[in-house]
Structure 1
Amino acid sequence: MHQARFSASSSPPDGNIWLRPLEPGDAAAHYGGEDSQLVRWYAGSPAPSLVHVSSYIGRVSQSWADGGPKFAFAICIRGGADLCGTLDVDLESAGAGPGHANVAYGLYPPWRGLATAAVVLVMPFLGQFPQLHEAVIRVHPDNPASACVARRSGFTVLEAGPEDGLLRFARPL
């Protein structure tokens, strides 16, 4: 498996938004940040307990150590101190297809305006995987805010996937 590299110093010029690997110490903030909008558009169902969230973070931490194929990022402000949401990258998502990385994000209230910056920040990370040629964001047609994030991040709409009805946005790597 390819050894994934991610620089914690990756931040926009203003230094306000940071991405770093999601880690066990984030479990309580991640569990506490979930609301009905995050569940509806991102998670699909509420996390049953803090134990389940901790188990999930353990699995994605192991995936980081293994070099993929799934990578979960913490979206943070103030140099990584405040967890605002998560961004997931899946290099083998059935919904994205071969050569594509699926990118998904979820922000906790009141941080919903930070998604575009987080998506832009993850793009250089994806460039290190030679098998990838495109990033894909899949959006429910009833979620215009997420479609706006994809467009502002440089993605263009392709079509609705026949298998799931989600809009597919793509951006070349």
Structure 2
Amino acid sequence: MLTGDLVRLRPLEPSDAAAHHRWNHDPEVMQWFAHGYPVSAERFAGEYGERPKNSYERVVLGIETLDGGRLTGVVALSGAEPETGGAELDLYIGEKDCWGRGYGTEATRLICRYGFDAMRLHRIQLWVADENAPAIRVYQKLGFVEEGRARDTLRRHGRWHAMVLMSLLEGELRG
């Protein structure tokens, strides 16, 4: 487990399926994510236990608070390739009462440190909706820089939004 001052990153357990299903079906939580079609809680739980195990190519961890051990979100590094030294970061805090409390910042810092130190990555990139200002601020605070934009990629709230490509290189992580 990766532990900071506020959160611990840990492997997901079958018992986490109910919370994860609830988050994935909450429009406010998922507003800036591309997602599939609704899935029943029973089917989601059944498939949850069959998730691929963590590996170099894909590490998915739950974000758990240190004060109470509450699962609040999920963070992942995926598409890791030793040939390129790169991976893509995905993160969300599913418990809305935990937004703005520093959990996402610390989880991002922990997973990036793990990626650079344990996985020997050189580059971590992510895509974030242009109007997701809180997330962009977190990423910038940690050292991520904007590299470009994909125009009209995500349709939300009746209009199209750009997705911003940001990256962090080994040695650039702050904090």
Max radius of gyration: which structure?
2
TM above 0.5, yes or no, is yes
Query: What are the superposed Cα offsets for residues 65-101 of structure 1, whole Å, 9 maximum, x if unpaired?
Result: xx242221101103672010111211259xxxx4321
Matching residue within 40, 44, 64 for 2:31: 40
Classify the secondary structure of the residue corresponding to 2:143: coil
Change (3 A) 1:80 1:11: farther
Unaligned stretches of 5+ in structure 2? 154-161, 171-175
Are the equivalent residues in 1 in contact too, given 2:14–2:45 (CA < 8 A)? Answer: yes
Are the equivalent residues in 2 in contact too, given 1:74–1:85 (CA < 8 A)? Answer: yes
Partner of 1:110: 97
Which deviates the most, 159-168 or 24-33?
Answer: 159-168
TM-score w.r.t. length of structure 2: 0.75
Classify the secondary structure of the residue corresponding to 1:126: helix
Change (3 A) 1:143 1:126: same
Paired with 1:52 and 1:68, the residues of 2 have a C-alpha distance of 27
Matching residue within 59, 69, 81 for 2:57: 69
Matches within 5 A, 1:12-91: 12=4, 15-34=5-24, 35-42=26-33, 44-45=35-36, 47-55=38-46, 57-60=48-51, 62-64=52-54, 67-78=55-66, 81-91=69-79
Are the equivalent residues in 2 in contact too, given 1:28–1:50 (CA < 8 A)? Answer: yes
Instruction: State the superposition RMSD in angstroms.
Output: 2.7
Residue 140 in structure 1 maps to residue 129 in structure 2: yes
Unaligned stretches of 5+ in structure 1? 1-7
TM-score w.r.t. length of structure 1: 0.76
- Number of residue-to-residue matches in the alignment: 156
Change (3 A) 1:142 1:80: same
Paired with 1:101 and 1:54, the residues of 2 have a C-alpha distance of 27
When you count helix as a share of all residues, which structure comes out higher?
1
